[in-house]
Amino acid sequence: MMEKLYLVARIADTRVALRSRAIHSVVAVGTPVEVPAAPPHVAGLFALRSRVFTLIDPHVVVGLAPVTVIEGQRVIVVDVADHGYALLADAIEDVCFIDAPETRVAGKLLPGWARVADAMIEHEGASLLVVDPAHFITLPVASAA
Amino acid sequence: MDDLLNDFLAETAEILAEAGGALVAWEADPGDRERLDAIFRLVHTIKGSSGFLSLPRVTALAHAAEDALDQVRRGNRPADAALVTGVLGVIDRLTHLCGALGTGGGEPAGDDGEVIEALALAADEPASPEPAEIQLRREDDLAAELQAWRSIRVPLPLLDSVMTGVTDIVLARNEFARMLRESGADPRLIASFDRLSDSIAGMRQSVSQMRMQRIDKLFAPLPRIVRDLAQELGKKVKFVASGGEVELDREMMENIRDPLIHIVRNAIDHGIEPLDQRVAAGKGVIATLSVSARQSGNQIEIEVRDDGRGLSPDALVSKAVAARIVTATEARALSAKDKLELIFRPGFSTAAKITSVSGRGVGMDIVKANLEKIGGVVELRNDEGRGLTILLRVPMTLTIISGLMVRAAGQYFAIPRGAVREILLESSDSARIDCVGGGELATVRGEKFPLLRLEEILGLKPGADEDAEDRAIVIVRPGQGQSYALSVAAIHDHEELVIKPAAPLIMATGLYAGTTLPDNGRPVLLLDVQGLLAAAGIDASEAGRCHDEAEEAEAEAVAARKAAQLLLFRDTGGRVRGIRLSVIERVEEVPALALFESAGLVQAQIGDDIFPVHAGRLPEDAGMLKLLRLHDGQRVLCYPIEAVIDIVRLPDTVQPAPVPGLISGVTLVGGEPVELLDPFWLMEQYAHGEIASEARQPLCQLAGDADGWGENFLAPILRSAGYRVASADDALAGGAPDVFLTLSDEESLIADGVPVIRLRAAAAAAGPDDQSVYRYDRQALLEALRVRIGGGGS
């Protein structure tokens, strides 16, 4: 039943669902270390159990202004291509089974969201975007410039 | 049983890789007894363990190879190429079988008869036995086998988890130490904690070393690959590996293996030219392919260098346009570097045609992607026409390096200690900083370095609380022949750092070589000292900074250009001889049938021309023959050889021969005496009978040749003596005649002012005033011609 398990969180000012198998863990982060000259969505580095993770600010990825990381803020830890990343979350709501099927994204999304959203899912009377964390790691060429 | 089999497979795979390389090395030096013993032991080990697991095919193969090698050890059999090829065949079959065992779990059915037979066939000429040495060596074998037992195999994931565990312990220790200090604990407690702390540090060191392997292991299969491929393509390649002692994390090694092999194969297939092209380009026929590894600061550099044809940027562009990788418009905008880097585009292949070697679906794009995955980079250093060097730079991830912690704009960064040459304060007396045309220059004790400010390169604002007085200069030497001064806000301390690759998007900035977790638990970025240079866009090359050195380098280059080169070859007698390369026009390869004997001289027909050949007699065996074409600016002489060996610099000292002859002297090349041919003497031998070029040959006009004797009997002799002949009929066709040869007494046929030779039919002269020449007196006739007009060959 792992396929039906989702993490519902608020990232980049939007409630989304993340497939649980794509997620390593959810942790609280301290003050990250800046990476000078890195792409704008890199919010810094932090260490967790002697591993170094790269903190990604989803706000920048979807085209919003970057936010400041607050100590103790929760992050979603993911592994992409053998490297550890963490997505800055505004809030973590729940981990739950969602029985409803994933459906095609209906309606027009902002370009930033359209790139990261895989599908939509119905949960407790609301439509949530199902996003793939891996899409947050690389920035589209246009917005990186 | 499964565990046993897995162990066997892992061990055998390693042995086979090692044995292949060792065999090729042994083939090059069959006298190397130790190497032979080592190979024998390897094969013996496979035989032993396969017998235990009851793998009859593997056992039979290993036994056959062991047997053959033992015959060599006992001196019953010569070590030759056939034997090596046979044993390599067995190794290939074993590799294949082990692959099948790994996937299928059982030994597949099949027949290895032909492989074993090939090995046996090679042994039809047994040499006389010399058993004296054997007993002694047997004891060595035992000792070496005992050594091999002293290591064990550990699964990689286990090593990884030990490593992670230890790093966690270190972090916890640091946290604990801080708390202890703050709580003002009992000194006895602190002392015993320090002891614990020391042993943890020692353990961390050992665990890191457990994962390290000598890069030798990566190089081990290369000699075999080079040998096989060079043979297949008919090229001669000398393989040189160096820096095998450099240690690299095992995981990194796995990631570099395939790219490295691919690059080596590419170099032999595409980079190194066929033999004749090499000679034409003035290179040694034996190409050199060198692979070397070295530690450069925080990175391991693996350099694959060949002396082949290099890359041609224009050819790359036209190929890329043809393959629709770039459009013609895009291509025009490419810089020289971009053009070279076209080879990294997916779908690009430099091979004009798909050979059995290339076109395996692995391109340089995959090589590049594989390296980037582990935070490495690929660099090309192209010297068109002279060779290509491919540099793989991989971070020493998971290696512990000594790092210097520096501060800039309130943030800490690490610099690999190995790349740091010197540290000094900006305010120190020995350093001077000048602003020159917008750039900054640091002069340290007379030596000049370009100065970079770390904050500027990283785009940081200098910290407000930092005092300019404290600023320090770090003299960095990122690679051979490069150095620069890096100005930082402060130097913190030295620490042993565990380096891990940063995420690709951070590595892509080119400024960082990885991340590390120092004892305070906050990640620190490791600076890429080479990348900083690139970002700053300065030339850090040391060359030319100092006036004298530049001049010396220039003088050396001039001397190298002036140095005469010597072509080394093996002559038909099997002797190694040399001749100045500049007198060789080219090396011809002709069928033996093109040589013929005429008038006691061996001549060669090459195309439409006939050239003299310096040979006593015609070659006995048919087949192809190599001829050196000597050229003195006018004439050509062919010198038959067996093979071209190399082109070397002509040594300065030559022991001259006592008498002039074929050999002008003898010199030492690589410690071996080499006879030098005397081109002057050679040309002298064939100079007579040689015909001057047609335009300058004197024209003999025949006159009064009523019965055709002049045309039929006289003209051929004159022509072979180097004169042009015009008969009475085509008089004056070839321009004004230089001399008339008249066979009659009529005066009317002869023009004024041109010398005349009268030929008479009678042997005896008509009287004392008779100036005519008896027509069958060849000597007198030629002498008369020479007196009148000169010329003639003899």
What CATH number should be reported for the domain holding residue B779?
3.40.50.2300
CA–CA separation, B493 and B406 (whole Å): 7
Same-domain status, B122 and B258: no
Same-domain status, B627 and B660: yes
CA–CA separation, A54 and A57 (whole Å): 10
pLDDT tops 80 at residue B58: yes
CA–CA separation, B722 and B742 (whole Å): 19
Same-domain status, B368 and B408: no
Same-domain status, B508 and B596: no
Among the partner-chain residues A34, A50, A138, the one whose CB lies closest to the CB of B517 is A50
Q: What is the mean pLDDT of residues B426-449?
A: 78
CA–CA separation, B282 and B163 (whole Å): 54
Q: Which of B337, B365, B395 is the last residue of a domain?
A: B395
Q: Which helix (H) or strand (E) holds B572?
A: none
pLDDT of residue B488: 84
Residue B623, classed as helix, strand or coil, is coil
Q: HSE-up of B400 (CA within 13 Å, CB side)?
A: 18
CA–CA separation, A51 and B9 (whole Å): 33
- Domain range holding B140? 2-148
Same-domain status, B263 and B362: yes
**Mean pLDDT, chain A, integer:** 80
Q: Please report whether residue A113 resides in a domain.
A: yes
Q: What is the pLDDT of residues B538-551, one digit of tens each?
A: 776 665 555 444 45
Q: What is the pLDDT of residues B284-300, one digit of tens each?
A: 888 889 999 887 766 78
Same-domain status, B423 and B452: yes
Q: Which of A40-44, B61-65, B359-363 shows the lowest per-residue confidence on average (mean pLDDT)? A: B359-363
What's the domain count of chain A?
1
Q: Please report whether residue B316 resides in a domain.
A: no
Q: What is the pLDDT of residues B608-627, one digit of tens each?
A: 778 888 877 777 776 777 88
ipTM metric: 0.84
Q: Which residue has the higher pLDDT, B219 or B633?
A: B219
Q: If you compute the radius of gyration of chain A from its CA atoms, what whole number of angstroms results? A: 15
Q: What is the mean pLDDT of residues B259-286?
A: 85
Residue A60, classed as helix, strand or coil, is helix
Q: Which of B631, B656, B687 is the last residue of a domain?
A: B687
Same-domain status, B440 and B494: yes
Q: What is the pLDDT of residues B569-606, one digit of tens each?
A: 888 777 888 888 778 777 777 788 788 887 777 888 87
- In chain B, residues with a C-beta closer than 8 Å to the C-beta of A54 are 502-503, 505-506
Q: Which of B109, B127, B148 is the last residue of a domain?
A: B148
Q: Please report whether residue B331 resides in a domain.
A: no
| CA angle, residues B68, B69, B74, in degrees to nearest 5 | 100
Q: What is the mean pLDDT of residues B661-683?
A: 82
Q: Which residue has the higher pLDDT, B627 or B108?
A: B627
pLDDT tops 80 at residue B4: no
Please report which confidence band the pLDDT of residue B134 belongs to, taking 50, 70 and 90 as the band edges: very low
CA–CA separation, B294 and B372 (whole Å): 19
- Domain range holding A130? 2-136
Same-domain status, B358 and B232: yes
CA–CA separation, B694 and B793 (whole Å): 12
- In chain A, residues with a C-beta closer than 8 Å to the C-beta of B463 are none
What's the domain count of chain B?
6
Q: Please report whether residue B121 resides in a domain.
A: yes
Please report which confidence band the pLDDT of residue B133 belongs to, taking 50, 70 and 90 as the band edges: very low
Q: Please report whether residue B345 resides in a domain.
A: no
Please report which confidence band the pLDDT of residue B304 belongs to, taking 50, 70 and 90 as the band edges: very high
Same-domain status, B711 and B773: yes
Same-domain status, B233 and B273: yes
What CATH number should be reported for the domain holding residue A48?
2.40.50.180
What CATH number should be reported for the domain holding residue B260?
3.30.565.10
Please report which confidence band the pLDDT of residue B105 belongs to, taking 50, 70 and 90 as the band edges: low
Identify the residue among B454, B515, B517, B520 best suited for mutation to test binding to A, counting A beta carbons within 10 A and taking the highest.
B515
Beta carbons of B525 and A82 less than 8 Å apart: no
Q: Please report whether residue A109 resides in a domain.
A: yes
Q: Please report whether residue B333 resides in a domain.
A: no
pLDDT of residue B469: 66
Beta carbons of B522 and A83 less than 8 Å apart: no
Q: Please report whether residue B319 resides in a domain.
A: no
Please report which confidence band the pLDDT of residue A51 belongs to, taking 50, 70 and 90 as the band edges: confident
Q: Please report whether residue A10 resides in a domain.
A: yes
Q: What is the pLDDT of residues B152-208, one digit of tens each?
A: 777 778 887 887 788 778 767 766 776 787 787 788 888 888 888 888 878 877 877
Beta carbons of A36 and B458 less than 8 Å apart: yes
pLDDT tops 60 at residue B756: yes
pLDDT tops 80 at residue B249: no
pLDDT of residue B148: 47
Same-domain status, B420 and B521: yes
Which residue, B627, B555, B566, B543, is CA-closest to B591? B627
- In chain B, residues with a C-beta closer than 8 Å to the C-beta of A47 are 171, 517, 521-523
Q: What is the pLDDT of residues B475-510, one digit of tens each?
A: 887 765 678 888 888 888 777 677 777 887 887 777
Please report which confidence band the pLDDT of residue A123 belongs to, taking 50, 70 and 90 as the band edges: confident
pLDDT of residue B790: 65
CA–CA separation, B610 and A143 (whole Å): 73
Q: Please report whether residue B549 resides in a domain.
A: no
Q: Please report whether residue A82 resides in a domain.
A: yes
Same-domain status, B164 and B138: no
Q: Please report whether residue A145 resides in a domain.
A: no
CA–CA separation, A6 and A22 (whole Å): 10
Q: Which amino acid is present at B109?
A: A
Q: Which residue has the higher pLDDT, B383 or B116?
A: B383
Task: Give residue ranges of A with CB < 8 Å to any B CB.
Answer: 33-39, 42, 45-47, 49-52, 54, 81-85, 137-139
What CATH number should be reported for the domain holding residue B478?
2.40.50.180
Structure tokens at B683: 């040309």
Q: Please report whether residue B772 resides in a domain.
A: yes
What CATH number should be reported for the domain holding residue B105?
1.20.120.160
